Amino acid sequence: MKSIEHICEKYAVKNAIDHGEAQVGSVMRIIMGAHPELRNKAKDVKEILEKKVEYVNSLQKDQLQQTVQEKFPELLQEEAKVETKEDVDFIRTIINEDNKTGKFGGRIHTRFPPEPNGYLHIGHAKSINLNYGIAEEYGGKFNLRFDDTNPLKEEIEYVKGIIEDVKWLGGDFEDRLLYASDYFDQFYEYAIQLVKKGKAYVDDLTVEEIRKERGSITETGKESPYRNRSIEENLDLFIRMKNGEFPDGARVLRAIIDMKHPNLLMRDPVIYRILHAKHHNTGDKWCIYPMYDWAHGLEDSIEGITHSICTMEFEVHRELYDWYLDQLEDENDKPIYHPQQIEFARLNVSNTVLSKRKMLQLVNEGFVNGWDDPRMLTIVGLKRRGITPEAISNFCKAIGVTKRKTVIDISMLNKFVRDDLDKSCTRVMSVLKPMKVTITNYPEDKEEEIEVPNHPKDKKMGTRKVKFTKTLYIEQDDFMEDPSKGYRRLSPNKEVRLKYAYYLKCEKVIKDKKTGVVKEIQCTIDPKTKGGISSDGREVEGTIHWISTKHAIKAEFRLYNDLFTKVNPLKTEEGKNFTDYINPNSLEILIGYVEPQLQKTNIGDRFQFERNGFFNIDYDSKKEVLVFNRIIPLRDSWAKK
């Protein structure tokens, strides 16, 4: 394969010949189509391409032709054949067509615009992966912009948390960390422009009155009695609103559109409301704040966004988005820049809720232990649980992008988490529900070191040594005094394999005299089966794990399951709230033991506890007791079959 430098220069030259000037976005799209093997190096390709495009565009026409003849003669014979991915989603299909027609001059510029009124969840991760992925794939730009237009619900804690989450997920917004509040002055000037055009008025009706007079789908709205105020009066009142002369709720600025419009959002929507509240970014400068629909399109326009990608609930807002942009001119009396809004179906996952408002309720009412509770599908919750950004990205790519509303079974997310961890996690032995085993034919003072692999499929991960002694811990579930049919683990007079060690046979069961509960099992080993293989060729049905009691380290295990018992907890039965479907078994806490080397690990480190699942070290860990979160079981025992 030719070098990346050669490929970038070739297609930059071709683009310059075809269009008079090379465009980074257009050339990037061609390269990614012709050389899909470079998609995982898109960032490096873009850096090289930007330099090549700058160089190519600096050449005179005769120099460009000479470059073609000397370095790329194949361009003189035929056009470069571009292999484009056939099975692209509908958003990329739109973008490809826009690039083909030159709608945005070959540019691609996307954004992720969260409102800082809560922490992000996996639904936002899908949007981040989509918007950033498109920008990266087409050699474009990606903004992180906060839609911070409501100071009553926004907190700096959420701003900081969202920035960290986007970075953790891999969204590279470079130096483009932006805020809607940065544009408040421009928003205000645009509103003045609407008033001067006679397309906006100050209304004295209350919020309740406005809602009532708006009508319904079957009933047209009624015009406000203040709708016909003169431009001069509206301008005076709006300026006085901005200067703080009126109390909260006294007046609003509304657009003049059509009170009979079939789309209720087009019935003279509110543009500004009075709100004497301190803003996290602008302080006390403003006492009027723009509504989301007014701010949304203007933010995109100011930033030069090409494709404003939103979830489907904003589809009905698109008409208003376009109307606002179509009414305004720039300082040269030309129409302001107009991005394209595209909607896709939001992510819904079974057995949980993906609504910041609902999640906040769960936090405030104590159903979960904060926004980062690992049972929540918030980004901070997923991160704390031990799920990697790679697993989330792979999941988002797999579910794709459509307009159809669906609920993704949580088992699909679990699959990608499990596949990701299986390749990277060191294997370790742990005992979550300890049962003591005494080996009666093993010397009290004897101690063996057994070398075991850290990963059965990856020899590069090396080996470790575990101690074998007279007394061990095994799982309670690995012993049954009166075994049911098909039970293959330890039971009286039956042999099992101690993983990596010996065949073990149960000889005696010791119970608590008062409760009758088994508290110890006395066993023997076959010394000739070291390594778990018998010299006489006999086989055992079961293999169980273990830990030396002498070397075991005490640990707390937090086992997480679905937060809700119902697939869609928001579909409530009469008289019930979504919290009525909280799973009482969503968290189980156990005290057990792990191998001693885990004392030297770090917060967040991940492991596969053999036969028990994937775990990571929680930040609640202390020197005395390590705390482990179960990321996911080895098998998806609760998946819907």
The model's pLDDT over 449-487, given as tens digits with 9 standing for 90+, comes to 999 999 999 999 999 999 999 999 999 999 999 999 889
Amino acid, single-letter form, for residue 418? R
Dihedral over Cα of 266, 271, 276, 277: its sign: positive
Mean pLDDT of 388-410: 92
Residue bearing the bigger pLDDT, 197 or 41: 197
Pick the catalytic residue from 50, 115, 390, 507: 115
Tokens of 45: 């390709």
Q: Check residue 67 and give its pLDDT.
A: 84
Residue bearing the bigger pLDDT, 86 or 113: 113
Q: Check residue 1 and give its pLDDT.
A: 57
Using the structure block, give the residue that is written with the tokens 């001693």: 596
Residue closest to 261 by CA, chosen among 191, 319, 210? 319
Mean pLDDT of 546-557: 97
Mean pLDDT of 589-605: 96
Cα–Cα distance between 566 and 558 in angstroms, integer? Answer: 22
Note every long-range contact of 491-496, with CB atoms under 8 Å and residues 24 or more positions apart, other chains counting: 495/526, 495/540, 496/540, 496/541, 496/542, 496/543, 496/544
Residue bearing the bigger pLDDT, 75 or 130: 130
Amino acid, single-letter form, for residue 158? Y
Cα-Cα-Cα-Cα torsion 206, 208, 210, 215, nearest 10 degrees, comes to -160
Residue 275's Cβ-side half-sphere holds a number of Cα atoms within 13 Å equal to 18
Q: Check residue 286 and give its pLDDT.
A: 98
Residue bearing the bigger pLDDT, 117 or 217: 117
| Catalytic status, residue 357 | no
pLDDT band, very low/low/confident/very high, at 200 (cuts 50, 70, 90): very high
Cα–Cα distance between 508 and 635 in angstroms, integer? Answer: 32
Which of 26-30, 97-101, 537-541: highest mean pLDDT?
Answer: 97-101
How many angstroms separate the most distant Cα atoms in the chain? 103
pLDDT band, very low/low/confident/very high, at 539 (cuts 50, 70, 90): confident
Using the structure block, give the residue that is written with the tokens 């179906």: 345
Residues 6+ positions from 323 with CB-CB distance below 8 Å? 255, 257, 266
Give the whole-number percent of the chain exceeding pLDDT 70: 97
Mean pLDDT of 1-17: 85
Strands (E) across 562-625 are located at 587-594, 606-609, 613-617
Tokens of 213: 């007079």
Mind listing the pLDDT tens digit for each residue in 167-195? 999 999 999 999 999 999 999 999 999 99
pLDDT band, very low/low/confident/very high, at 599 (cuts 50, 70, 90): very high
| Catalytic status, residue 346 | yes
Residue closest to 448 by CA, chosen among 322, 548, 375, 574? 548
Cα–Cα distance between 52 and 7 in angstroms, integer? Answer: 10
**DSSP states of 222-271 as a string?**
---TTTT--HHHHHHHHHHHHTT-S-TTS-EEEE-S-TT-SSGGGSS-EE
Q: Check residue 284 and give its pLDDT.
A: 96
Mean pLDDT of 412-434: 96
Q: 200-203 and 252-255 as β-strands: parallel, antiparallel, unpaired?
A: antiparallel
Residues 613, 630 contacting (CB under 8 angstroms): yes
Cα-Cα-Cα-Cα torsion 410, 415, 418, 424, nearest 10 degrees, comes to -130
Q: Check residue 26 and give its pLDDT.
A: 76
Residue 399, pLDDT above cutoff 50: yes
**DSSP states of 54-84 as a string?**
HHHHTS-HHHHHHHHHHH-THHHHSPPPP--
Residue bearing the bigger pLDDT, 356 or 623: 356
pLDDT band, very low/low/confident/very high, at 17 (cuts 50, 70, 90): confident
Q: How far apart are the first and last CA of the chain?
A: 46
In angstroms, the Cα distances linking 453 to 3, 53, 460 are 40, 51, 10
Q: Check residue 77 and give its pLDDT.
A: 56
Residues 6+ positions from 18 with CB-CB distance below 8 Å? none
Cα–Cα distance between 275 and 250 in angstroms, integer? Answer: 10
Residues 6+ positions from 508 with CB-CB distance below 8 Å? 521, 522
Q: Check residue 624 and give its pLDDT.
A: 86
| Catalytic status, residue 384 | no
Mean pLDDT of 374-403: 96
Q: Check residue 636 and give its pLDDT.
A: 56
Pick the catalytic residue from 356, 385, 494, 558: 356
Residue 201, pLDDT above cutoff 70: yes
What is the three-state SS of 125-176? HHHHHHHHHHHHHCCCEEEEEECCCCCCCCCHHHHHHHHHHHHHCCCCCCCC
Mean pLDDT of 583-606: 96
Which of 49-58, 264-273, 482-491, 628-637: highest mean pLDDT?
Answer: 264-273
pLDDT band, very low/low/confident/very high, at 336 (cuts 50, 70, 90): very high
Pick the catalytic residue from 103, 346, 436, 611: 346
Mind listing the pLDDT tens digit for each residue in 52-110? 998 888 888 777 877 887 788 777 654 333 333 446 899 999 999 999 999 999 999 99
Cα–Cα distance between 147 and 179 in angstroms, integer? Answer: 6
| pTM for this entry | 0.83
Q: Check residue 534 and give its pLDDT.
A: 86
Mean pLDDT of 277-302: 97
Q: What is the chain's mean pLDDT, rounded?
A: 93
Q: What angle do CA 436, 438, 440 make, to 5 degrees?
A: 170
In angstroms, the Cα distances linking 447 to 450, 451, 470, 525 are 10, 13, 8, 14
